[in-house]
Amino acid sequence: MNEQKGRWDDLRVVRAIAETGSLSGAGRQLGLSHATVFRRLGETETRLGVRLFERARGGYSPTPAGEDLAATAGRVEAEVLEVERRLAGQDLRPAGSLRVTTTDTLLSGLLSPLFTEFRQAFPEIALEVALSNNLFNLSRREADIAIRPAQDPPDTLVGRRIGVIAQAVYGHTELLEGHSETYDLMSFSWIGPDEVMGYRPLERWMERQGLQPCCHYRLDSLLAMTAAARDGAGLAVLPSYLGDSAPELRCLGAPIPELATDLWLLTHPDLRRVARIRAFLDFIAEAVQREAPRLNP
């Protein structure tokens, strides 16, 4: 059994190198060190008696044999994951491990107390939460459930829209003192998203408002932008559930219609009948709907 597992692990190494084009990239994907990936590749080539990759300064390029083995590894992985999902669907008890992915903003501003309530209601379910702005591959079981803002969730997933996140302009109360109720937005310093954040809808809105020349403080997360606004660094567009919960901040005007974003609760079709998945989906959907006034005042 250990030998079989070792060979399956070697297949995964070959596939990861083919996908990333480097040993370090494969190591990051698999959670292995550069040395371990190098050793496993050498052992696999020695056992098979064939060269799987051409080494060049630009990276690792698969030979015909490497392409064949990487493609086989992909097919094997897809079949194994399909079986795992199918067997997981036979679980009838709301118990076991559940891995959820969401954003740091949603966890901090909305979901953390709801997750605590869920744990109290279902103590036999062990909850694992992965924070990322990227949508994990639910087909590959990187996560069981995703909770995140999205306009067009992937067609490969199923779920439900559980709310609409409104966004508006916020500023520190002291920053706004002495200004009339009709604010000239261009008279303030602004806080905005940087390129790494990749928040194009907000960037386009700021461009249309002529605010980009006023933006001299850029950060790579909404939580960081909220902290900067609370410190009085300038005005910022924030989700209402973050801005309204900060006593230091005041909302300037109504939510911005073009920045409203749907909030989705997503899973893989093969997992939706699993008892612990179903319990979580139902519980969180109801809990978030209770918080609807905070999401979209």
DSSP state of 225: H
DSSP secondary structure string for all residues of 8-43:
HHHHHHHHHHHHHSSHHHHHHHHT--HHHHHHHHHH
pLDDT range class, residue 152, cuts 50, 70, 90 = confident
pLDDT band at 181 (very low <50, low <70, confident <90, very high): low
Which structural domains are found in the chain, ordered by start?
2-88 (1.10.10.10), 96-165+261-295 (3.40.190.10), 167-259 (3.40.190.10)
125 token code pair: 């379910």
Say whether pLDDT at 109 is over 50: yes
pLDDT computed for residue 2 by the predictor: 42
Q: What is the pLDDT of residues 246-277, one digit of tens each?
A: 999 999 989 999 999 999 999 988 887 888 99
Residue with the bigger pLDDT between 51 and 83: it is: 51
**266: Cα within 13 Å, side-chain hemisphere:** 24
pTM of this structure: 0.66
Number of Cβ within 10 Å of residue 156's Cβ equals: 11
For the stretch 196-222, pLDDT in tens is: 888 899 999 999 999 999 999 999 999
pLDDT of amino acid 153: 78
